[in-house]
C-alpha cells in the first residue's frame, strides 16, 4: 500500500471532522481577505477630496465589521485546530491498533532477526508523523492554496497588469519544490531509520542493564549510545539542512515580487492610473499573496517527513502473516486426547538451511516423551511445529488422527501449555501473570494452581501477596520463583498437551526438587513432551527420543537406550553422570 493511500484509507473514518476542518479553513480565508479590503475602503474615504463628517460614521461601521470578523476568526481557528487534531490523532490511534494486530499475526520467522526497539519505533514514532500530515501539513497546504487563489482574484480586480508582474517569482519556487523533493524525502526516511536504531539500542541496554553492570560495561555502553545519538543528530541535521537551504530561497524569490510592485506600482500611482488606496490594498494583499508560497516550504517539509514514516509503516504492514486457517478448518470444542504423530516431517527456515529431515514419531495420548540430543539439533524447533509456530516444509503432524492444519489455529493452541527455560513474565502483578492464560479463572482456581506449582508459599511471603508488582520480566523474583509462576500459569490453563523446554535447568538442587514435584503434578493425565539436557530428569519417561544430524537416531526407554553399546544417549548420559558431582557443587 502506497504511503498516501495508507494514510487516507484510515482518514475516511473521520470524514465529518475533516469536512468541518475544511469548512472552517474556507471561512478563515474569507475572513483574511476581508480585512485588507476594509483598509482600502478606509483609505479611499479619508483621502477623498470631498470627505465629510459622514466619514466618521463609516469608520465606526468598518470598526464594528472588523471586530465581528476577528471574533468569528477566533472561533473558526478553534474549530479548524480541534477538528484537525481529532482526525489526525484518531488516524494515528487506528493505525497503531492495526499495526499491533498485524504484528500479532506475523510468523515467528519475522521476529527472529528484528530488534524490539526498531519495531516500537515503527509503531510509535513513525505513526505519530501521520498526525503532523493530517492536522498540520495538508490543512496548511489547502488553506494556503485557497488563500493564494482568493488573493490572486482580488489583486486581478485591483490591477491585472501589476498582478501578472507579481507572479514572476512563483515558477522559480515551484521548480525548486520538485528538485528538493527528490533529496528531502530520502533524507527524512533515513532520519527515521536512525531513530529506530537508537530506540532499538536503548531497549537492549535497558533490558540488559543487569548484564551491563555485572560485566562493568557502563562506560563502553555510554560510548555506544552516545555514538548512536550523534548519528541520529547528524541524520536529522542533514535532512533539516536541505529544508533550511530551501526556505531562504523561497523568501528571496518571493521578496522579488515586492520590489516589482514598489517600482511599477509607484509609477502607476504617479501617472494617475492606480488610486493610492488601491496601491495600499495591493501591498497588504501582496503579503498574503506570497505568505502561502513561503508556508508551502514548511508544509512540504512536514509532508516529506510524514511520507518517510508512512514508507516504513507500509513496509511493516506488507510483511506476510503467519499461515491462515485452511478453508473449512475445525474449531476444537472439547478437550483433546492428545495423541500426536509426526509423519515423515521435514522443516527448514530457508531452502539452504534444513533443520529437520524425515521425522517419524508416535506420541501416544497421556504419555511422557523426552527429546534429547546435542545443542542445535532441532529439539525446540520440533516442538514448535506442534502449536504451528512454524509449519512443516513437508510431511504432516496429526493430533488425535487429524492433521493439525485442519484445526483452527487459536483452538489448536488452546490445547497446548508450554513451560520454557527462559520464563517471560509481564510487567504487572503476580495475579495478572498467573491468570494470563485464563483471565476468567476464580480466586480458588488460581490459588490451587499456585499450590500445585509449589508457588503459593513464596507468593504469600511477598509484600502484597498475589497483588505484588514483580517488575518487567519478573526482575524482582529468583529464577526458581519465576519458573514456578510459569508452571502455575500452565496448571491454570489446564491443556491436555504439555511442552516442557528445559524447565528445570539453571536452578539449584533444592529449587529443582520443588519444580520437579510441581511438574510431576502438572504432567498427570497429559501428553507431555520434555526437552532436557540434564538426562537424569528424563529417566522415567515412557519414551526417550534422541535427535542428531537433523533426524531421530535412537528411540526407546532409558534402559533400552543404555543397552546400546555405541549409542549416543548412553555416551551423553555417562558423561553427565561423571560430571554430576561437579555440577551439583556448582549449583549449590
452 backbone dihedrals φ, ψ, rounded to 5°: -60, -35
Q: Residue 231: pLDDT above 80? A: yes
More confident position, 181 or 77: 77
Is residue 70 within 8 A of residue 34, CB to CB? The reply is no
Q: What percent of the chain has pLDDT over 70?
A: 88
Q: How confident is the model at residue 396 (pLDDT cuts 50, 70, 90)?
A: very high
pLDDT digits (tens, 9 = 90+) for 262-294: 888 888 888 878 788 887 777 777 777 777 776
Mean pLDDT, range 102-129, rounded to an integer:
77
| DSSP per position, 429-446 | BHHHHHGGG-TT--HHHH
Q: Is 88 helix (H, G, I), strand (E, B) or coil?
A: helix
Distance between CA 366 and CA 339 in Å, rounded? Answer: 8
Percent of the chain past pLDDT 90, that is, above it, reads 16
pLDDT confidence of residue 18: 86
Mean pLDDT for the stretch of residues 525-548: 87
pLDDT at 506: 52
Least confident of 8-22, 135-149, 331-345: 135-149
What pLDDT, on a 0 to 100 scale, did the predictor assign at position 587?
A: 47
Report residue 359: phi and psi, to 5°. -80, 120
Query: From CA 547, how far away is CA 551, in angstroms rounded?
Result: 6
Nine-digit cell string for 354: 534444513
| Residue 455 clears pLDDT 80, i.e. is over it | yes
* Helix ranges (DSSP H) in 106-208: 108-111, 116-121, 127-131, 138-158, 160-166, 170-207
Rounded alpha-carbon distances, angstroms, from residue 359 to 329, 348, 451: 25, 13, 38
| DSSP class of 462 | S
Answer yes or no: are the C-beta atoms of 308 and 181 closer than 8 Å: no
pLDDT at 187: 82
Beta strands in 228-367 (DSSP E): 340-350, 353-363
Q: 485 and 514 in contact (C-beta within 8 Å)? A: no
pLDDT in tens, 78-104: 988 889 889 888 888 888 888 888 888
Dump pLDDT digits (tens) for 342-375.
999 999 887 778 899 999 999 999 999 999 988 8
Is the CB of residue 73 less than 8 Å from the CB of residue 28? yes
Domains and CATH numbers, the chain: 3-317 (1.20.1560.10), 329-415+497-509+527-588 (3.40.50.300), 421-494 (3.40.50.300)
CB-CB neighbours of 536 under 10 Å: 12
- Please say whether the beta carbons of 519 and 500 come within 8 A: yes
Determine the Cα–Cα distance for residues 278 and 362; give it in Å rounded to an integer.
Answer: 95
What are the CA-CA distances from residue 83 to residues 145, 235, 407 (Å)?
20, 33, 46
| pLDDT per position as a tens digit, 405-436 | 999 988 898 899 888 777 778 778 899 889 98
416-420 and 497-501 beta bridge pairing: parallel
Q: Which residue has the cell 490591477?
A: 159
Average pLDDT, the chain: 82
Which has more confidence, 57 or 210? 57
Question: What letters, b where the CB count within 10 A reaches 16 and e where it falls short, cover 167-193?
Answer: eebbeebeebeeebeeebbebbbebbb
Rg for the chain, CA atoms, rounded: 36
pLDDT tens-digit map of 135-164: 878 787 888 888 888 888 888 888 888 888
Whether residue 320 has pLDDT greater than 50: yes
Query: For the residues 228-255, what does the mean pLDDT come to?
Result: 80
- Of the pLDDT bands very low, low, confident and very high (cuts 50, 70, 90), residue 585 is very low
CA distance between the termini of the chain? 58
Query: Kind of pairing, strands 394-399 and 527-531?
Result: unpaired
Average pLDDT over every residue of 32-57? 73
Top pLDDT among 438 and 533 is at 438
The C-alpha atoms of residue 5 and residue 11 are separated, in whole angstroms, by 10
Task: Please state, in angstroms and rounded to a whole number, the distance separating the CA atoms of residues 129 and 340.
Answer: 49
Question: How many Å apart are CA 192 and CA 201, to the nearest integer?
Answer: 14
Q: What's the rounded mean pLDDT across residues 376-396?
A: 90
Whole-number Å distance between alpha carbons of 288 and 291: 5
Amino acid at each position: 500500500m502506497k504511503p498516501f493511500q495508507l494514510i487516507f484509507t484510515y482518514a475516511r473514518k473521520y470524514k465529518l471532522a475533516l469536512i468541518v476542518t475544511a469548512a472552517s479553513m474556507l471561512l478563515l480565508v474569507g475572513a483574511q481577505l476581508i480585512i485588507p479590503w476594509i483598509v482600502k475602503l478606509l483609505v479611499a474615504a479619508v483621502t477623498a477630496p470631498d470627505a465629510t463628517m459622514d466619514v466618521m460614521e463609516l469608520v465606526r461601521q468598518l470598526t464594528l465589521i472588523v471586530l465581528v470578523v476577528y471574533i468569528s476568526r477566533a472561533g473558526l481557528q478553534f474549530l479548524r485546530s480541534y477538528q484537525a487534531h481529532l482526525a489526525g490523532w484518531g488516524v494515528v490511534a487506528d493505525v497503531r491498533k492495526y499495526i499491533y494486530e498485524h504484528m500479532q499475526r506475523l510468523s515467528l520467522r519475522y521476529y527472529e532477526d528484528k530488534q524490539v526497539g526498531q519495531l516500537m519505533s515503527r509503531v510509535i514514532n513513525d505513526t505519530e508523523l501521520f498526525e503532523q500530515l493530517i492536522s498540520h501539513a495538508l490543512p496548511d497546504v489547502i488553506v494556503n492554496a485557497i488563500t493564494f487563489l482568493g488573493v490572486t482574484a482580488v489583486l486581478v480586480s485591483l490591477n491585472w497588469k501589476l498582478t501578472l508582474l507579481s507572479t514572476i517569482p512563483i515558477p522559480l519556487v515551484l521548480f525548486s519544490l520538485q528538485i528538493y523533493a527528490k533529496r528531502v524525502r530520502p533524507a527524512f526516511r533515513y532520519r527515521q531509520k536512525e531513530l529506530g536504531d537508537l530506540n532499538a539500542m536503548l531497549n537492549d541496554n535497558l533490558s540488559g542493564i543487569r548484564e551491563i553492570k555485572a560485566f562493568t560495561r557502563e562506560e563502553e555502553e555510554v560510548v555506544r549510545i552516545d555514538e548512536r545519538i550523534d548519528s541520529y543528530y547528524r541524520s536529522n541535521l542533514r535532512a533539516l539542512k536541505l529544508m533550511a537551504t530551501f526556505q531562504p530561497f523561497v523568501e528571496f524569490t518571493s521578496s522579488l515580487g515586492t520590489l516589482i510592485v514598489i517600482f511599477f506600482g509607484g509609477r502607476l500611482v504617479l501617472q494617475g492610473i492606480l488610486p493610492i488606496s488601491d496601491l495600499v490594498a495591493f501591498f497588504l494583499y501582496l503579503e498574503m499573496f506570497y505568505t502561502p508560497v513561503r508556508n508551502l516550504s514548511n508544509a512540504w517539509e512536514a509532508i516529506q517527513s510524514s511520507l518517510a514514516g508512512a514508507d516504513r509503516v507500509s513496509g511493516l504492514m506488507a510483511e506476510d502473516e503467519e499461515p491462515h486457517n485452511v478453508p473449512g478448518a475445525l474449531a476444537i470444542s472439547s478437550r483433546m486426547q492428545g495423541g500426536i504423530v509426526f509423519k515423515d516431517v521435514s522443516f527448514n527456515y530457508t531452502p539452504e538451511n534444513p533443520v529437520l529431515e524425515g521425522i517419524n514419531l508416535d506420541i501416544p495420548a497421556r504419555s511422557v516423551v523426552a527429546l534429547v540430543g546435542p545443542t542445535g539439533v532441532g529439539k525446540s524447533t520440533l516442538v514448535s511445529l506442534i502449536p504451528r509456530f512454524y509449519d512443516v516444509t513437508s510431511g504432516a503432524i496429526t493430533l488425535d488422527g487429524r492433521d493439525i492444519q485442519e484445526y483452527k489455529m487459536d483452538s489448536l493452541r488452546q490445547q497446548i501449555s508450554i513451560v520454557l527455560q527462559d520464563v517471560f513474565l509481564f510487567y504487572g502483578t503476580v495475579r495478572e501473570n498467573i491468570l494470563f492464560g485464563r483471565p476468567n479463572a476464580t480466586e480458588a482456581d488460581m490459588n490451587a494452581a499456585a499450590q500445585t506449582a509449589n508457588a503459593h508459599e513464596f507468593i504469600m511471603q511477598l509484600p502484597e501477596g498475589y497483588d505484588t508488582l514483580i517488575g518487567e520480566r519478573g526482575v524482582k523474583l529468583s529464577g526458581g520463583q519465576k519458573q514456578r509462576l510459569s508452571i502455575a500459569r500452565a496448571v491454570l490453563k489446564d491443556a491436555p498437551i504439555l511442552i516442557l523446554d528445559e524447565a528445570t535447568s539453571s536452578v539449584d538442587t533444592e529449587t529443582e526438587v520443588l519444580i520437579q514435584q510441581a511438574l510431576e503434578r502438572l504432567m498427570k493425565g497429559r501428553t507431555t513432551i520434555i526437552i532436557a539436557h540434564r538426562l537424569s530428569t528424563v529417566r522415567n519417561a515412557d519414551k526417550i527420543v534422541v535427535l542428531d544430524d537433523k533426524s531421530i537416531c535412537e528411540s526407546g526407554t532409558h534402559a533400552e537406550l543404555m543397552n546400546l553399546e555405541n549409542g549416543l544417549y548412553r555416551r551423553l548420559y555417562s558423561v553427565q553422570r561423571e560430571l554430576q558431582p561437579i555440577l551439583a557443587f556448582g549449583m549449590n
